[in-house]
Amino acid sequence: MALQRARLSGIILIFLAMPAGFSQTPEQPEHSRIFGIIPNYRTFPTLQNYKPLRTREKFKIAVEDSFDRGTVMLAASFAGLGQLNNSTPAFGQGVAGYARYFGASYGDFVIGDFITEAIYPTLLHQDPRYFRRGTGSGWSRLRYAAKQIFWTHKDAGGSQFNFSEIAGNATAVAISNAYYPDNRDAASAVSKLGIQIGIDMAGNFLKEFWPDLSRKFSRKTPKKP
Protein backbone atom coordinates (compact mmCIF):
# COMPACT_ATOMS: atom_id res chain seq x y z
CA MET A 1 0.00 0.00 0.00
CA ALA A 2 2.92 2.33 0.61
CA LEU A 3 3.79 2.18 -3.09
CA GLN A 4 0.28 3.24 -4.06
CA ARG A 5 0.22 6.03 -1.48
CA ALA A 6 3.50 7.33 -2.90
CA ARG A 7 2.02 7.34 -6.42
CA LEU A 8 -1.08 9.22 -5.30
CA SER A 9 0.93 11.74 -3.28
CA GLY A 10 3.23 12.43 -6.22
CA ILE A 11 0.36 13.09 -8.62
CA ILE A 12 -1.43 15.31 -6.09
CA LEU A 13 1.72 17.39 -5.54
CA ILE A 14 2.08 17.88 -9.29
CA PHE A 15 -1.57 18.90 -9.55
CA LEU A 16 -1.37 21.37 -6.65
CA ALA A 17 1.61 23.01 -8.32
CA MET A 18 -0.45 23.87 -11.40
CA PRO A 19 -1.11 27.57 -11.98
CA ALA A 20 -4.61 28.76 -11.06
CA GLY A 21 -7.14 30.36 -13.34
CA PHE A 22 -7.59 27.78 -16.08
CA SER A 23 -10.88 28.31 -17.84
CA GLN A 24 -10.69 27.23 -21.45
CA THR A 25 -8.43 25.14 -23.64
CA PRO A 26 -8.47 25.38 -27.42
CA GLU A 27 -8.38 22.07 -29.24
CA GLN A 28 -4.77 21.00 -29.71
CA PRO A 29 -2.92 17.88 -30.85
CA GLU A 30 -2.53 15.47 -27.94
CA HIS A 31 0.82 14.94 -26.26
CA SER A 32 1.80 11.30 -25.72
CA ARG A 33 3.25 12.08 -22.28
CA ILE A 34 2.47 14.50 -19.45
CA PHE A 35 5.60 16.27 -18.19
CA GLY A 36 7.48 14.08 -20.63
CA ILE A 37 7.02 11.06 -18.32
CA ILE A 38 3.41 10.10 -17.54
CA PRO A 39 1.84 8.19 -20.49
CA ASN A 40 -1.11 10.02 -22.04
CA TYR A 41 -2.23 7.81 -24.90
CA ARG A 42 -5.93 7.51 -24.06
CA THR A 43 -6.84 11.19 -23.81
CA PHE A 44 -9.08 12.55 -26.56
CA PRO A 45 -9.73 16.28 -27.00
CA THR A 46 -13.45 16.19 -27.78
CA LEU A 47 -16.61 14.08 -28.02
CA GLN A 48 -17.60 15.72 -31.31
CA ASN A 49 -17.83 13.30 -34.24
CA TYR A 50 -17.50 10.40 -31.79
CA LYS A 51 -16.29 7.09 -33.22
CA PRO A 52 -16.04 3.98 -31.03
CA LEU A 53 -12.78 2.11 -30.75
CA ARG A 54 -12.34 -1.34 -32.21
CA THR A 55 -11.03 -4.11 -29.97
CA ARG A 56 -7.52 -3.91 -31.40
CA GLU A 57 -7.48 -0.14 -30.81
CA LYS A 58 -8.34 -0.63 -27.14
CA PHE A 59 -5.53 -3.14 -26.79
CA LYS A 60 -3.20 -0.77 -28.64
CA ILE A 61 -3.84 1.88 -25.97
CA ALA A 62 -3.11 -0.64 -23.21
CA VAL A 63 0.11 -1.72 -24.92
CA GLU A 64 1.28 1.88 -25.39
CA ASP A 65 0.52 2.78 -21.78
CA SER A 66 2.09 -0.39 -20.37
CA PHE A 67 5.32 -0.43 -22.34
CA ASP A 68 6.02 3.28 -22.56
CA ARG A 69 9.39 4.33 -21.18
CA GLY A 70 7.58 6.62 -18.75
CA THR A 71 5.79 3.64 -17.20
CA VAL A 72 9.09 1.83 -16.71
CA MET A 73 10.61 4.96 -15.13
CA LEU A 74 7.65 5.40 -12.79
CA ALA A 75 7.75 1.73 -11.78
CA ALA A 76 11.48 1.99 -11.08
CA SER A 77 10.94 5.10 -8.94
CA PHE A 78 8.09 3.58 -6.95
CA ALA A 79 10.12 0.40 -6.46
CA GLY A 80 12.91 2.47 -4.93
CA LEU A 81 10.46 4.22 -2.61
CA GLY A 82 8.92 0.92 -1.60
CA GLN A 83 12.29 -0.59 -0.76
CA LEU A 84 13.37 2.55 1.10
CA ASN A 85 10.21 2.39 3.24
CA ASN A 86 10.38 -1.42 3.52
CA SER A 87 6.71 -1.47 2.52
CA THR A 88 6.78 -5.21 1.75
CA PRO A 89 9.31 -6.84 4.11
CA ALA A 90 9.00 -10.19 2.33
CA PHE A 91 10.68 -8.67 -0.74
CA GLY A 92 13.88 -8.03 1.21
CA GLN A 93 16.67 -5.55 0.52
CA GLY A 94 19.64 -5.38 -1.83
CA VAL A 95 19.56 -5.89 -5.59
CA ALA A 96 17.33 -8.96 -5.38
CA GLY A 97 14.87 -7.11 -3.15
CA TYR A 98 14.76 -4.14 -5.51
CA ALA A 99 14.10 -6.47 -8.44
CA ARG A 100 11.08 -7.87 -6.57
CA TYR A 101 9.79 -4.38 -5.79
CA PHE A 102 10.26 -3.34 -9.41
CA GLY A 103 8.54 -6.46 -10.73
CA ALA A 104 5.56 -5.90 -8.44
CA SER A 105 5.32 -2.19 -9.22
CA TYR A 106 5.59 -2.70 -12.97
CA GLY A 107 3.13 -5.59 -12.73
CA ASP A 108 0.64 -3.24 -11.08
CA PHE A 109 0.87 -0.88 -14.06
CA VAL A 110 0.64 -3.54 -16.77
CA ILE A 111 -2.16 -5.58 -15.19
CA GLY A 112 -4.16 -2.45 -14.35
CA ASP A 113 -3.73 -1.01 -17.84
CA PHE A 114 -4.78 -4.14 -19.70
CA ILE A 115 -7.78 -4.87 -17.48
CA THR A 116 -9.19 -1.32 -17.31
CA GLU A 117 -8.24 -0.15 -20.82
CA ALA A 118 -8.59 -3.26 -22.99
CA ILE A 119 -10.12 -6.40 -21.49
CA TYR A 120 -13.09 -5.02 -19.56
CA PRO A 121 -13.84 -2.23 -22.07
CA THR A 122 -13.97 -4.87 -24.82
CA LEU A 123 -16.17 -7.27 -22.85
CA LEU A 124 -18.48 -4.51 -21.60
CA HIS A 125 -18.43 -2.41 -24.79
CA GLN A 126 -17.18 0.70 -22.98
CA ASP A 127 -14.77 3.36 -24.19
CA PRO A 128 -11.54 3.56 -22.12
CA ARG A 129 -10.59 7.03 -23.34
CA TYR A 130 -10.73 10.22 -21.32
CA PHE A 131 -12.59 12.89 -23.29
CA ARG A 132 -11.37 16.29 -22.22
CA ARG A 133 -13.95 18.99 -21.54
CA GLY A 134 -11.54 21.88 -22.07
CA THR A 135 -14.08 24.68 -21.48
CA GLY A 136 -15.80 26.24 -18.49
CA SER A 137 -14.51 27.22 -15.07
CA GLY A 138 -11.69 25.38 -13.38
CA TRP A 139 -14.06 23.90 -10.79
CA SER A 140 -16.51 22.66 -13.43
CA ARG A 141 -13.67 20.94 -15.24
CA LEU A 142 -12.48 19.36 -11.99
CA ARG A 143 -15.96 18.01 -11.32
CA TYR A 144 -16.15 16.70 -14.88
CA ALA A 145 -12.77 14.95 -14.58
CA ALA A 146 -13.76 13.34 -11.27
CA LYS A 147 -17.08 12.18 -12.70
CA GLN A 148 -15.37 10.32 -15.55
CA ILE A 149 -14.01 7.82 -13.02
CA PHE A 150 -17.55 6.65 -12.28
CA TRP A 151 -19.34 7.44 -15.55
CA THR A 152 -18.05 6.55 -19.00
CA HIS A 153 -19.10 6.36 -22.64
CA LYS A 154 -20.52 3.28 -24.33
CA ASP A 155 -19.32 2.09 -27.72
CA ALA A 156 -22.89 2.34 -29.01
CA GLY A 157 -23.28 5.92 -27.79
CA GLY A 158 -24.57 7.37 -24.57
CA SER A 159 -23.03 6.78 -21.18
CA GLN A 160 -23.23 4.41 -18.21
CA PHE A 161 -21.55 3.49 -14.93
CA ASN A 162 -17.82 2.93 -15.44
CA PHE A 163 -17.68 -0.78 -14.68
CA SER A 164 -14.36 -1.05 -16.54
CA GLU A 165 -12.69 1.36 -14.10
CA ILE A 166 -14.22 0.20 -10.81
CA ALA A 167 -14.56 -3.54 -11.44
CA GLY A 168 -11.33 -3.53 -13.45
CA ASN A 169 -9.30 -2.04 -10.62
CA ALA A 170 -10.97 -4.39 -8.13
CA THR A 171 -9.86 -7.31 -10.31
CA ALA A 172 -6.32 -5.92 -10.58
CA VAL A 173 -6.13 -5.56 -6.79
CA ALA A 174 -7.30 -9.16 -6.36
CA ILE A 175 -4.60 -10.37 -8.78
CA SER A 176 -1.94 -8.33 -6.96
CA ASN A 177 -2.55 -10.40 -3.83
CA ALA A 178 -0.62 -13.16 -5.59
CA TYR A 179 2.63 -11.17 -5.50
CA TYR A 180 2.18 -8.95 -2.40
CA PRO A 181 2.52 -11.55 0.39
CA ASP A 182 2.26 -9.03 3.23
CA ASN A 183 -1.04 -7.41 2.19
CA ARG A 184 -3.60 -10.10 1.45
CA ASP A 185 -6.37 -9.28 3.93
CA ALA A 186 -9.71 -7.71 2.97
CA ALA A 187 -8.93 -4.37 4.62
CA SER A 188 -5.72 -4.02 2.60
CA ALA A 189 -7.59 -4.88 -0.60
CA VAL A 190 -10.26 -2.23 0.02
CA SER A 191 -7.58 0.33 0.87
CA LYS A 192 -5.59 -0.49 -2.29
CA LEU A 193 -8.73 -0.18 -4.42
CA GLY A 194 -9.55 3.23 -2.93
CA ILE A 195 -6.00 4.46 -3.44
CA GLN A 196 -5.95 3.23 -7.05
CA ILE A 197 -9.22 5.00 -7.85
CA GLY A 198 -7.78 8.13 -6.25
CA ILE A 199 -4.67 7.81 -8.42
CA ASP A 200 -6.79 7.48 -11.56
CA MET A 201 -8.89 10.49 -10.56
CA ALA A 202 -5.76 12.58 -10.02
CA GLY A 203 -4.60 11.35 -13.43
CA ASN A 204 -7.83 12.64 -14.97
CA PHE A 205 -7.18 16.06 -13.44
CA LEU A 206 -3.76 16.13 -15.09
CA LYS A 207 -5.20 15.02 -18.44
CA GLU A 208 -7.87 17.71 -18.30
CA PHE A 209 -5.45 20.55 -17.56
CA TRP A 210 -2.30 19.35 -19.31
CA PRO A 211 -2.78 21.52 -22.44
CA ASP A 212 -3.06 24.58 -20.16
CA LEU A 213 0.09 23.58 -18.31
CA SER A 214 1.97 22.84 -21.51
CA ARG A 215 1.00 26.19 -23.00
CA LYS A 216 2.04 28.11 -19.88
CA PHE A 217 5.36 26.29 -19.64
CA SER A 218 6.11 26.95 -23.32
CA ARG A 219 5.54 30.66 -22.78
CA LYS A 220 8.02 30.73 -19.91
CA THR A 221 10.70 28.86 -21.82
CA PRO A 222 13.20 31.42 -23.20
CA LYS A 223 13.81 31.20 -26.90
CA LYS A 224 17.32 30.40 -28.05
CA PRO A 225 19.00 33.21 -30.02
Amino acid, res. 193: L
DSSP string of 31-85, one letter each residue: PSEETTTEE-TTEES--TT--PPPHHHHHHHHHHHHHSHHHHHHHHHHHHHHHHH
pLDDT at 27: 42
Q: What is the mean pLDDT of residues 150-166?
A: 95
Dmax over CA atoms of the chain, in Å, equals 60
What pLDDT shows up at residue 19?
42
CA distance 57 to 60: 5
Distance CA 214, CA 35 (A): 8
More confident residue, 7 or 166: 166
Question: Tell me: the pLDDT tens digits for 77-109?
Answer: 999 999 999 999 999 999 999 999 999 999 999
User: For residue 64, which phi and psi values (nearest 5 degrees)?
Assistant: -65, -45
pLDDT over threshold 50, residue 194: yes
pLDDT band (50, 70, 90) for residue 173: very high
More confident site: 133 or 7: 133
* pLDDT score of 5: 52
Give tens-digit pLDDT for 61-85: 999 999 999 999 999 999 999 999 9
User: What pLDDT does 115 receive?
Assistant: 98
Share of the chain above pLDDT 70, in %: 82
Distance CA 111, CA 66 (A): 8
